[in-house]
Amino acid sequence: MTATSTDTYDQIGIREDLVDMIWDVSPTETPFISNAPKTKAKQTYHEWQTDSLASVSNTTAIEGADASFAPAAASTRLGNYTEILTKTVIISGTLEATDRAGRDREMAYQEIKRGKEIKRDMESNVCGINNAYAAGNATTRRESASYTTWCTTNTSNGAGAGADPTTIGSTAATDGTQRAFTETLLGTVIDSIFNSGGNPNIIMAGSFNKRALTGFSGNADEVKHNNESQKVINAVSMYVSDYGTLKVVPNRFSRSRDVLVYESSFWAIAMLRDMQSFDIAKVGDSSRKQMLCEYTLEARNEASSGIIRDLTTS
């Protein structure tokens, strides 16, 4: 008779095999706000000024003539409203007391997650939507105007209803008929930015139009096969224009139908309240925290940059 072995199926007390790690694939890169300068807002309506030189003149002076005077052109005063992003965490006393895999303190783990979520929300609000600013009141929230709402000088819009904002900041752009992203569209906007005085250094696009840029004819002329390393190269990280080199940045949170072409030093994130976490009064057997930040987008001079709107996304 064959002896019956002692095996795992009938045993009690075998410990679980749970990896002491939590794997999260959620994207956390925020290239627009990470590249933007940071500045300080001091009011809920944050303001700045823009100015420009007089047009180039070919008029010369007559010898001995009296000097003539004209009033100096005033600077332009612009502003954007701050908006508040917030997340909350509530953890029961029992949960915090248990032994958990992948993290030590549950509250600390949840705070880190919420902080990343706020940062992603900020990225989306700055460059992923077509949103005008709103002053807000006791029952409605304040809203910051997004990137596309500031662009009127160097733009390319789709046919039909496609149009720039009527008033920068306070009105949104109007979506038009979507069309394919082409090198001609990109070159036209870069030309316009250069003629306006800008020196763009970043092209930002969603995944579909980043791939479209990779397929531009200039890249097609490059050698893409490296026989020694057995690699096929089909990517563009830099775009060399007639006026300089621009970094090509894919962004999961930018508006997929828009491609941003901008000079990064002319766009800033103005913080009224930096990211913070604070305790909410304890009620019962739980700990509660709120996390928030308050910020706005500072469009220092939109003529430095541009946008190609109404592009196909599939």
Domain range annotation of the chain:
29-48+76-308
Phi first, then psi: give them for residue 306, nearest 5 degrees: -160, -175
Specify the pTM: 0.88
- Residue 9 has a pLDDT of 74
Contact status, residue 143 vs residue 136, Cβ threshold 8 Å = yes
Helix, strand, or coil (residue 96): helix
Which tokens hold the place of 152? 């009127």
Identify which of 181, 229, 252, 291 has the alpha carbon closest to the alpha carbon of residue 26: 252
Ranges of the chain with pLDDT below 50: 220-223, 225, 232
Which tokens hold the place of 235? 């990517």
Helix, strand, or coil (residue 277): strand
- Residue 218 has a pLDDT of 65
Helix, strand, or coil (residue 151): coil
Contact status, residue 37 vs residue 268, Cβ threshold 8 Å = yes
- Residue 23 has a pLDDT of 76
What is the maximal distance between C-alpha atoms in the chain? 127
Q: Which CATH number fits domain 29-48+76-308: 3.90.1690, 1.10.3110, 3.30.70, 3.30.1360?
A: 3.90.1690
**Residues facing 86 on adjacent strands:** 292
Helices (H), the chain: 31-35, 93-97, 106-127, 147-150, 183-196, 207-214, 217-220
Q: How far is CA 276 from CA 91, 118, 291, in A?
A: 18, 11, 6
Residue 221 DSSP class: T
